[in-house]
Structure 1
Amino acid sequence: MTENNVTPARLSVEFLPELPGDEWGVPDGYEWIARLAGSGWYAVGLWGTEGWNLGRWPYQIVAHIDRPALEVYGLATYTEGDVTVTVFGSREERDAETNEVAVAWWITNENGPEGLTPDMSPIPRAYSGPYRD
Structure 2
Amino acid sequence: MVKSNPNISNRQNQILEKLGNCDDELSGQELYRVLHAGESSMGLATVYRNLQVLVKKGLVRSRNLPTGEVLYAPVKRDVHHLTCVDCGITTSLQGCPVKNINLPQSKTKNFQLLFHTLEFFGLCQHCLERQST
Per the normalisation by structure 2, the TM-score is 0.25
Query: Which structure: larger Rg?
Result: 2
**More helix per residue:** 2
Instruction: Pick 1 or 2: higher relative contact order, CA cutoff 8 A, min separation 6.
Output: 1
**More strand per residue:** 1
Per the normalisation by structure 1, the TM-score is 0.25
